[in-house]
Amino acid sequence: MGFYRKRTRVRKPVAQIAKEHLIETGNDRIGYGDCDLLDAIAKKATHTTLFDKHPLDRHIAILNALDRSNLFEKSLFRIWVGNREGLARTFNLVEKK
């Protein structure tokens, strides 16, 4: 028997999947609270277990992946929840191709 090399598919990073999805939908930014966009990205990332997680954990994991990537530029915006003030992340595409 000979040595057979397994064929493996190249797994795209979540940030690359997010960039492609944003370009497809015509958006140039994504952030905290964009539930439809974040869930669609999780569905497209079939090589991960993102879609099996709780929605809040899933959204945080995707935003953390975008934070680590150089495809997106991070900015913060101020939100008010009840009597508390906080900051939420939003990410803009660096270059749209």
Q: How many domains does the chain have?
A: 1
Q: What is the pLDDT of residue 46?
A: 87
Output the pTM of the full model: 0.83
Residue 7 lies in a domain: no
Residue 26 maps to a domain: yes
For 64, the domain range is 14-93
Buried-state track 21-51, b at ≥16 Cβ within 10 A, e below 16: bbeeeeeeebbbebeebbbbbbebbeebebe
The reply to whether 8 falls in a domain is: no
Classify residue 6: in a domain, yes or no.
Answer: no
Q: Is residue 1 part of a domain?
A: no
Contact 86, 79 (CB under 8 A): yes
Q: For residues 22-26, give the mean pLDDT.
A: 95
